Amino acid sequence: MSNPDPVSGEVVALEGVSVVRDGRLLLDDIDWHVDRTERWVLLGPNGAGKTTLLQVASTYLGPTRGTVRLLGETYGKVDVRTLRERVGYAGPEPAGMIRDRLPAIDIVVTGKHASFVDTKWHDYDDADWELAGRLLERFAADHLADRRYGTLSSGEKQRVFLARSLMTHPEVLFLDEAMTGLDLGARERLVASLADLAADPQSPAVILVTHHVEEIPPGFGHIAMMSQGRLIARGPMDEVLSADSLSECYQEKLHVEVRDGRYRAWLPD
């Protein structure tokens, strides 16, 4: 397998990507590049195409047209199973495959093989279990290690699954609606964890899907804004995210401000 371009450090590249399913245009001529040092937010309303775009970028969905490169390899010209060993993915679809009866520490360690079965089906050494414990601690979830996954709250499950997504030391991390269903306290704890992740220079490139600017963690420096299957704006956060771009994205007159590294949007009186 060839390495990604050492000059650009590109981890994701979409060029002229469109997706048509059942006669519906879900993605329309997307061009997007993500560098290995970047942390991106993919923002837009429900139905904008965010999850579809993330699935294409991570090779879990093939494009109808266009070129997709992940970690320097072109979709359709590489065994994507080998690529996925270098990718972290957390979202409702993979989370739905988790066995509720397994303890949280088992959920994390099985991420090494992208497996959703009992640990008895693969071999794990002491270093694997130690890493799983450290990852739980990183997301303030080490006290959950022996708890059955099915007994955890939504916020606790999210933190366990984020820990799992780092088990393979991924080069890029895809997070699909990580805040969905969380109460305010759980959301803020997860935002803080992602801010810590963004601040770590050894962390992978990250792409976080959300439809709320309040969920953007400090340290995420780039944004791609979607509406009706198209990218309407993309680039550095402080240049792209504005009242005008947000209003265009949501088809609603909105104000936006940033305070202490956090964004807030609201409707005018």
Q: Which 3 state secondary structure label does DSSP give 151? A: helix
Q: Which pLDDT score is estimated for 251?
A: 94
Q: Which pLDDT score is estimated for 177?
A: 86
Question: How buried is 183 (Cβ within 10 angstroms: 0-12 exposed, 13-18 middle, 19+ buried)?
Answer: exposed
Q: What pTM value is reported for the model?
A: 0.86
- DSSP conformational letter for 118: -
Alpha-carbon 232 to chain mean position: 20
Q: Which pLDDT score is estimated for 118?
A: 64
- DSSP conformational letter for 213: G
Within 8 A by CB and 6+ apart from 227, the residues are: 44, 45, 48, 248, 249, 250, 251
- What tens-digit pLDDT sequence spans the chain (269 residues)? 344 443 348 999 999 999 999 999 999 999 999 999 999 999 999 999 999 999 999 988 999 999 999 999 999 998 888 888 788 888 765 555 567 788 999 999 988 876 655 665 668 889 999 999 999 998 889 999 999 998 998 888 888 888 998 998 899 999 998 887 788 888 898 899 899 989 998 889 999 999 999 999 999 999 999 999 999 999 999 999 999 999 999 999 999 999 988 999 999 87
Q: Which pLDDT score is estimated for 210?
A: 93
Domains of the chain, start order: 1-86+172-194+212-269 (3.40.50.300), 87-169 (3.40.50.300)
DSSP secondary structure of 6-29: TTT-EEEEEEEEEEEETTEEEEEE
